[in-house]
Chains A and B, each alone.
Chain A
Amino acid sequence: MESLILSDFEQKYYSELFLSCDVDNTKKVASNGKVRDLFRAAQLSNEVVHQIIELCGATRLGHFGRSQFYIALKLIALAQSGLPLRVESLNSVRDLPLPRFVMGKNEQETRHTVMYTDTENQGPYLPRPPGRVQAKKVSAHEMIQPCVPTVEPQPDTTSPVVSPHQSPPTSPHAWRKHKRQASGGNVDRQPSVPGVVWPPFREAQPGPVTGEGMWSAHSPPPVQESWVSFTDTPPSSTLPMHPPSAQPDSTTVRTVLSAMITNEIQRQTSGYDDPWKITDEQRQYYINQFKTIQADLTGLIPGSAAKEFFTKSKLPILELSHIWELSDFDKDGALTLDEFCAAFHLVVARKNGYDLPEKLPESLMPKLIDLDDSAGVPEPAPEVGFSASPVEVTPNKSPSMPSLNQNWPELNQSNEQWETFSERSSSSQTLTQFDSNIAPADPDTAIVHPVAIRMTPSKIHMQEMELKRTGSDHTHPTSPLIVKPPELSDETKLAATIKFPGTTVGDGYSSSDSFTSDQEPISSAVNRQRSHSGTSPEGLKVVAPPPPPPRPHTTHSRSSSLDMNRNFAAVPAGPQQPGVVAFPPAVPPRPLPTQTSVPHGHRSVEGDGLPAHTSTSPQQMPEQPNFADFSQFQAFAVDQPADDGEKPSDSGQAERCAETTGTMRTAKTDIQSEDRNATTVNSAKVSTPLAPPPKPVRRRLKSEDELRPDVEDLPQKSNVIATVLATQPSIPRSIGKDKKAIQASIRRNKETNTVLARLNSELQQQLKDLLEERISLEVQLEQLRPFSHL
């Protein structure tokens, strides 16, 4: 019985009554005297009264303590509303009107009763008579503050009227609820409160403390017998005077709020076109409220401030949370003016009994374009960014279609990022659109914060990828193969490896995984070759400029790409040996000496090499169609490392040409034989071929044999190269001494070149074989494991 739940409204009323009964200020009321009068005034039969007194425990105690008194009052209310007197029903019945007491003490009381009935009738009335409106306003003021302050200015007659008059008003406003819900929601409602002319704003249950506290603090002054006396309009008319003067600052908001709410209710009820429409007056009010929190109308209210503000409305936190979710459209944890107005409006509506909508109504949607210019601006940016990046990727895709291999890893990544983009934007859109279906620019704003943060890194990454692709595309639009050599040497080893295997594999083999896996061994091979070339800088004057980034799509058809791959594979080694191989495939060995001399000159003097290269390059061009000639790979591989020079393209071409024709091989063998004839053979490999015709065969066989045993040859070759290169450091010194020495050194360099070129070609061949194996394995794997990693 003790756990009596009273609305603050009831609390105030009861405590007022109690105090009025407690003339002795003893905090307990005797069962006689006033209490009895009071109970009798309740117009209940004596039996009921007795029953009530018994139930509340006063008979047990012999007197009415505060709680008993309250219980008794509540029971009286129960009885008056015709409900059975049960202790359980004390707390369960929500929709309990205040107990009515008819005191014949003064006409005020009678008026009160009259008013009471009056108000009852008018309880759920929507259109308020102006007088009532005022009263409403006044009462509305007491959201938190009870009538007390208003009581003070008014002594005696009016004050008693005022206090109870106002206490009911302090209860919340759910006038609509009166109509709709017979048995209360979470808020106690007083459909007819003595002295309440309009449905008071009802606050949620957990709110009454402050009000009551204040009220009881002030209640002693207005101790009057005729607590129930209400005047009709006079008190109500007087009421407005008090609240403005008496109210402390903290309640100004409340009062204004309540005033607005009442007006709003009226409007709403009268108009009822769009319950969510914000009228101008309301909007102005909201704007004023916004200013109290945030002076800048275009600024944001931080979440904490908004939380404090809206907590004052005494709505349950869950509902406030829901309101926040509805109104914070861009999900930034802060409220713009529009969002604030929407939230405020929802609070008001909720207090008036409207159920919160699932989605933000259209009329409450924040107008992002108008007010939130700052929010609107960043919105399109990230959106554009998102859409742009996929778009950017696609054009890259199309030109790179012919060579899918290298594109694949990047494209796959970009696809994923596309996924990221689209997912992010769509998810944010769904998040925001739960509020409404219309969301004009809202998804953008919704995306601003999280999306912008998330998208940029991937966007940047995508752009990087794009740049790589486009860069490679742009720089070498004509022939991707040409690009290859410069790209390879230019990029970091890793990048080169990425591109390199791509071209080597060539055939548009799908899995990017395979690519990446391929890249390592290839890169190692490349690196090894490169390092070797790097170690022979002195003699070989590496002239090649840093090649542009490797093109992702350098591979063409399978066969040709394989050839090209070999060419490209040789390219990294190519720069290492400038000017060695610039032979047109069809050119007989005769020009070779000139060419070989040219490379030498090239080493020492770049300029000489250039014309030779250029001269050879056009000759080399026609060789390209011979890509399909795999048999010449090995021979050409030897020739590959030639073109370093200034033009990587030339070297690429040279390599290509070299690889494709068998004559190249012969030419090379001739050269080699020449070299050997000229100088002592340093490496074993150089020494082997003697006669031109058998050389290629032998070399091929040998290279094949060498290539078969895989990578282990590579270190051997590297050792060979190392030994060869080791001899070279002495060369530059000798140049300055003797012509003969110079020539000898030149010859030695040539030999080294040829050796390295051959080694290169052999390695290339090995690489090619390995790649082929890998490709076949991958194909098998794909067949066995369908699309597991797509």
Chain B
Amino acid sequence: MAVCIAVIAKENYPLYIRSVPTQGELKFHYTVHTSLDVVEEKISGVGKALADQRELYLGLLYPTEDYKVYGYVTNSKVKFVIVVDSSNTSLRDNEIRSMFRKLHNSFTDVMCNPFYNPGDPIQSKAFDSIVSTMMVQAF
């Protein structure tokens, strides 16, 4: 279960960011921001074949003491970042992948909405509900 989930647009500003302990949000915002560097590094690494060879799932971006940050980039350079608690060791790579997949699917659905202008903050309730299911259910 994620502690913080963020969707960052191509221009590296957040489209959607939500964290579970809503009071400690700033910390997660900062974490997500710094993780963007790692994301850029990873996606610029594969220089030759742009989207084909590059896998969407970036994996663990970097771990810190308290949590781990995972990244995922779509073909349109929209980034998803998931921050999970380090103490949550039961989370497997597959689960993280599935979370990203779900995020990507619901993000696609948001994009399909003609009333959504790409670049706007995501205010879709469906997207919110998907994210809620993935967040830590403790609260």
Contact = CB atoms under 8 A, between A and B. Distances in A.
Interface of A: 302-304, 306-307, 310, 317-318, 320-322, 324-325, 328, 331-333, 358, 416, 419-420, 423-424, 427-428, 430-431, 434, 450
Interface in B93-115: 94, 98, 101-102, 105-106, 108-109, 112-115
Contacts of A434: 125-126, 129
A427 B114 contact: no
Given A320-B115, A450-B108, A430 B130 contact: yes
A322 B125 contact: yes
7 contacts: A304-B114, A318-B123, A325-B109, A325-B113, A325-B125, A427-B105, A430-B133
A779 B76 CA distance: 44
A325 B125 CA distance: 8
Given A416-B94, A424-B105, A450-B108, A358 B115 contact: no
B105 A450 contact: yes
Contact of B113 (A324, A427, A450): A324
B109 A331 contact: yes
A324 B115 contact: yes
Nearest to A333: B112
Contacts of A430: 129-130, 133
Nearest first, the 5 closest Cβ-Cβ pairs linking A and B are A303-B114, A333-B112, A307-B114, A321-B115, A427-B102
B106 A303 contact: no
Interface string B18-56: 000000000000000000000000000000000000000
B41 to A, nearest CB: 26
A412 to B, nearest CB: 11
Given A322-B125, A358-B125, A431 B106 contact: yes
Contact of B112 (A303, A423, A424, A428): A303
B62 interface: no
Contacts of B94: 416, 419
Interface in B62-107: 94, 98, 101-102, 105-106
Contacts of A302: 114
B124 interface: yes
A331 B124 CA distance: 13
Given A358-B125, A431-B106, A434-B129, A321 B113 contact: yes
A533 to B, nearest CB: 36
A423 B115 contact: no
Contacts, number: 65
Range of interface residues on chain B? 20 to 34
Contact of A321 (B98, B101, B123, B133): B123
A453 B113 CA distance: 19
Given A331-B109, A427-B106, 11 more contacts: A302-B114, A317-B115, A321-B115, A324-B115, A325-B109, A325-B113, A333-B112, A424-B105, A431-B105, A431-B109, A434-B126
A397 B94 CA distance: 22
Contacts of A419: 94, 98
Nearest to B112: A333
B114 A333 contact: yes
Contacts of A420: 101
Interface of B: 94, 98, 101-102, 105-106, 108-109, 112-116, 123-126, 129-130, 133
A328 B106 CA distance: 13
B90 to A, nearest CB: 11
Given A303-B112, A331-B112, A423 B130 contact: no
Given A419-B94, A431-B126, A324 B102 contact: no
A431 B110 CA distance: 11
B98 A328 contact: no
Given A303-B112, A325-B113, A423 B126 contact: no
Contacts of B101: 420, 423-424, 427
Contacts of A320: 115
A450 B101 CA distance: 11
B133 A303 contact: no
B99 to A, nearest CB: 10
Contacts of A427: 101-102, 105-106, 130
B105 A325 contact: no
B80 to A, nearest CB: 14
- For B101, B113, B116, B124, the residue with the greatest tally of chain A CB atoms inside 10 Å of its CB is B113
B116 A328 contact: no
Contacts of B130: 427, 430-431
A585 to B, nearest CB: 48
Given A325-B126, A358-B125, A332 B112 contact: yes
Contacts of A321: 113, 115-116, 123-124
A321 B124 CA distance: 8
Contacts of B108: 331, 450
A450 B94 CA distance: 20
Nearest to A311: B115
A419 B133 CA distance: 18
B85 to A, nearest CB: 19
A320 B120 CA distance: 15
A332 B105 CA distance: 12
Contacts of A331: 108-109, 112
B9 to A, nearest CB: 17
A303 B126 CA distance: 18
B102 A303 contact: no
Nearest to A322: B125
Nearest to A321: B115
Nearest to A426: B102
Contacts of A333: 112-114
A428 B123 CA distance: 19
B123 A328 contact: no
A328 B102 contact: no
A318 B121 CA distance: 11
Contacts of B98: 419, 423
Contacts of A310: 115
A343 to B, nearest CB: 11
B125 A306 contact: no
B78 to A, nearest CB: 16
Given A427-B105, A430-B133, A434-B129, A303 B123 contact: no
B111 to A, nearest CB: 8
Contacts of A307: 114-115
B113 A303 contact: yes
Contacts of B106: 427, 431
A249 to B, nearest CB: 23
A424 B105 CA distance: 9
B132 to A, nearest CB: 11
B115 A328 contact: no
B1 to A, nearest CB: 16
A324 B111 CA distance: 11
A420 B57 CA distance: 14
Nearest to A324: B113
A172 to B, nearest CB: 19
Nearest to B102: A427
Contacts of A303: 112-114
A700 B113 CA distance: 74
Contacts of B124: 321-322, 325
Nearest to B114: A303
B94 to A, nearest CB: 7
Contacts of A416: 94
- For A331, A332, A416, A424, the residue with the greatest tally of chain B CB atoms inside 10 Å of its CB is A331
A789 B129 CA distance: 31
Contacts of A324: 113-115
Given A322-B125, A430-B130, A434-B126, A328 B112 contact: yes
Nearest to A335: B114
B114 A306 contact: yes
Nearest to A787: B92
A457 B94 CA distance: 18
A325 B123 CA distance: 11
A424 B97 CA distance: 12
B126 A328 contact: no
Contacts of A423: 98, 101-102
